[in-house]
């Protein structure tokens, strides 16, 4: 099992007992990576049988609250339980604006960030960065309004997955996701209620089909889907396996 992906949350900022805000835990055996850090992510980690104490690297796609509200919670939890925090360093990666975002958080919570001497911030732009050993994590610019936003791809031990974050369909995302084993993709709204800067099942199907990915997991679904099945709509455009994520689901690659 080179790579295990756990869906910590598959929803949005709208509170739901079934779907927390979208976040992923990725484990390689040696390392743990968190992708996005929205509300309730620490509780979701506990439910997944792990804990914030061993987090080492967090990749933020963009600074909307559903993807970042847990950062203050996390730092405060570590600072108040420092003896049990096992990692030598916590590295927070994010698109341009990370340092400004954290400065503002520091002002808001009275030196929360300043006190976190284990914390390192890394602003990233498009392009690959290598993370120790076999893991390689790349980023591509997402299309999500005026804000800087990224999609991520991780290649490790001969397998790969892509996490879109929030984005509309783009050809560069098709290239970026080319032949990934797994596409964990936002699927915010039904096709007849499309919103700029987000994907619908039709867009996801085109993306998955053109990129030739091995399988699709749908996350970041707004309640507007009601009882309809977004996976069925994706399958009209894509022949591979499609799953609607549920919180706590794990996928082994």
Rounded Cα distance between 209 and 206, Å, is 5
Pairing of strands 119-123, 90-94: parallel
How many residues in the chain?
253
As given in the structure block, the two tokens for residue 192 are 């007849």
User: Which residues in 93-152 contact Zn ion (CB under 5 A)?
Assistant: none
| Listed ranges 63-71, 83-91, 124-132, 172-180: which one lies at the site for Zn ion (CB under 5 A) | 63-71
Nearer to Zn ion, 28 or 188 (CB): 188
Question: Are the CB atoms for 28 and 36 separated by under 8 Å?
Answer: no
Residue with tokens 């804990």, as numbered in its chain: 51
Nearer to Zn ion, 72 or 241 (CB): 72
Q: Is residue 36 close enough to count as binding Zn ion by CB under 5 A?
A: no
User: Which residues in 174-233 contact Zn ion (CB under 5 A)?
Assistant: none
Q: Pick one of 27, 66, 155, 247: the residue that binds Zn ion (CB under 5 A).
A: 66
Q: Is residue 64 close enough to count as binding Zn ion by CB under 5 A?
A: yes
| Listed ranges 41-49, 66-74, 88-96, 201-209: which one lies at the site for Zn ion (CB under 5 A) | 66-74
Q: Pick one of 166, 176, 217, 219: the residue that binds Zn ion (CB under 5 A).
A: 166
Please measure the distance between the N-terminal and C-terminal CA atoms of the chain and give it in whole angstroms: 6
Nearer to Zn ion, 57 or 67 (CB): 67
| Listed ranges 29-37, 58-66, 127-135, 240-248: which one lies at the site for Zn ion (CB under 5 A) | 58-66
Query: What are the beta bridge partners of residue 156?
Result: 159
Nearer to Zn ion, 150 or 242 (CB): 150
Question: Are the CB atoms for 139 and 126 separated by under 8 Å?
Answer: yes
Residues that bind Zn ion in the complex, under the rule CB under 5 A: 64, 66, 166
């Amino acid at each position: 099992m080179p790579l295990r992906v756990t869906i910590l949350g598959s929803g949005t900022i709208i509170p739901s007992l079934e779907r927390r805000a979208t976040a992923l835990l990725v484990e390689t055996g040696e390392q743990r990576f968190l992708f996005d850090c929205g509300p309730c992510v620490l509780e979701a980690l506990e439910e997944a049988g792990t804990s914030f104490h061993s987090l080492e690297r967090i990749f933020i796609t963009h600074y909307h609250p559903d993807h970042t509200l847990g950062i203050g919670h996390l730092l405060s939890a570590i600072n108040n339980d420092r003896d049990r925090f096992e990692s030598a360093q916590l590295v927070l990666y994010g698109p341009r604006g990370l340092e400004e975002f954290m400065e503002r958080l520091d002002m808001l919570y009275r030196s929360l960030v300043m006190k976190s001497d284990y914390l390192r911030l890394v602003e990233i732009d498009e392009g690959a960065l290598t993370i120790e050993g076999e893991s390689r994590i790349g980023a591509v610019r997402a299309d999500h309004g005026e804000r800087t936003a990224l999609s991520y791809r991780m290649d490790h031990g001969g397998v790969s997955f892509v996490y879109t974050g929030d984005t509309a369909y783009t050809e560069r995302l098709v290239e970026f996701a080319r032949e990934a084993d797994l596409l964990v993709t936002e699927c915010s709204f039904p096709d007849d209620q499309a919103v700029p800067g987000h994907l619908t099942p039709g867009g996801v199907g085109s993306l998955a089909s053109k990129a030739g990915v091995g399988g699709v997991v749908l996350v970041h679904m707004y309640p507007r889907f009601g009882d309809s099945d977004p996976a069925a709509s994706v399958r009209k455009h894509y022949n591979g396996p499609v799953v609607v994520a549920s919180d706590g689901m794990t996928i082994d690659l």
